[in-house]
Amino acid sequence: MNAPVRKAVLPVAGLGTRFLPATKAMAKEMLPIVDKPLIQYAIEEARAAGIEDFVLVTGRGKTIMEDHFDHAVELEQVLEARGKTRELDIVQDAMVPPGHLAYARQQNPLGLGHAIWCARQVVAGEPFAVLLPDDLVKAEPGCLAQMIEAYNDVGGNIVAVEDVPRDQTNKYGILDVEHDDGRLARAKGLVEKPDPADAPSTLSIIGRYILQPEVFEYLDKHEKGAGGEIQLTDAMAKTLGTVPFHGLRFKGRRFDCGSKAGFIEANVAFALERPDLADGLRETLKTYL
Ligand code: G1P
């Protein structure tokens, strides 16, 4: 029986320079897809997968997220007084039960591996999930729920993967595959952002992980990898041989909301599934094409 995954770490300290000026005074994780911020999609996906406890690894200028997941007393009073129960539900649905959301500060931007390491005290030796809110996955059941299901079978470390065009391997962590049944790919190696010519495959990690706490033994060493950063991929690679490692080809569609094109595409895709928006938007879009 694999130890249950009850905790999730969400690194949210990045500066979001690709979305300036929108992110000059606002956290990029608060950018909305239709009307909900990216960070809330990630929390909801994790809660739907059974995650109970959350750690947001934050940095300067990110306290807006603490407010987002808390009561907005004045707003709630006004909505209540005006009888706006639907809006009140929307505001209150964003909340995480008291005591289940913690914040760890990443004091220096030393890489994704370092961000995860900053959450080690709260993870406290348990298996845990990592969600990168920039990667938005539209799936039913959610991507992390699919991964938990696979984890209950194979245990160990699991990442969500998808094939990318070979000329894009230098944007991702890439698996060196040992065995592949079309759904689960067992890895014998991992490389962070390899040049297309050197990539062992085109199977790339997207921002969903289930990790065993052994990864902290290597993150503790603060070794720098690709781009001079402390890489999560490198620490995971060091656990190969002691912890099983699988990539899950999840069912669903992933949007890279860290890029402008992916962000806009996600807005269109999510809006086209909204009954209040779909018909009008479809007609409007035709006029542009
Ligand atoms: C990070 C990881 C990379 C992974 C990617 C998924 O890279 O280091 O292994 O493939 O997220 O989005 P980043 O996008 O932060 O450069």
Atom of ligand 1 at shortest distance to CA of 227?
16
pLDDT of residue 198: 95
pLDDT of residue 235: 97
pLDDT of residue 22: 94
pLDDT of residue 61: 86
- CA 24 to chain centroid, in Å, comes to 22
pLDDT per residue as tens, the chain (289 positions): 789 999 999 999 998 899 999 999 999 999 999 999 999 999 999 999 999 999 999 998 899 999 999 999 999 999 999 999 999 999 998 899 999 999 999 999 999 999 999 999 999 999 999 999 999 999 999 999 999 999 999 999 999 999 999 999 999 999 999 999 999 999 999 999 999 999 999 999 999 999 999 999 999 999 999 999 999 999 999 999 999 999 999 999 999 999 999 999 999 999 999 999 999 999 999 999 8
Residue minimizing CA distance to atom 15 of ligand 1: 112
User: In testing the pocket of ligand 1, which one of 116, 132, 206 has its CB within 8 Å of the most ligand atoms?
Assistant: 132
pLDDT of residue 1: 75
pLDDT of residue 131: 98
Closest CA to 105 of 120, 123, 119, 91: 119
Atom of ligand 1 at shortest distance to CA of 135?
12
User: In testing the pocket of ligand 1, which one of 18, 117, 205, 233 has its CB within 8 Å of the most ligand atoms?
Assistant: 205
pLDDT of residue 94: 86
157 three-class SS? strand
Residue minimizing CA distance to atom 11 of ligand 1: 207
Closest CA to 265 of 256, 273, 274: 256
Atom of ligand 1 at shortest distance to CA of 233?
9
CA of 233 to the centre of ligand 1 (A): 9
Residue minimizing CA distance to atom 7 of ligand 1: 172
As for ligand 1, residues whose beta carbon falls within 6 Å of it are 112, 132, 135, 172-173, 192, 204-207, 231-233
Atom of ligand 1 at shortest distance to CA of 256?
12
pLDDT of residue 85: 96
pTM: 0.96
**Strand ranges (DSSP E) for the chain?**
7-11, 32-33, 36-37, 53-58, 101-105, 128-131, 135-138, 157-163, 173-180, 184-192, 203-211, 245-249, 253-256
CATH number of this structure's domain 7-286, picked from the four choices 3.90.550.10, 3.20.130.10, 1.20.1250.20, 3.20.20.80: 3.90.550.10
Residue minimizing CA distance to atom 10 of ligand 1: 172
Closest CA to 260 of 15, 13, 17: 17
For the residues of 15-37, what is the DSSP string, one character each?
Answer: --GGGTTTTSSS-GGG-EETTEE
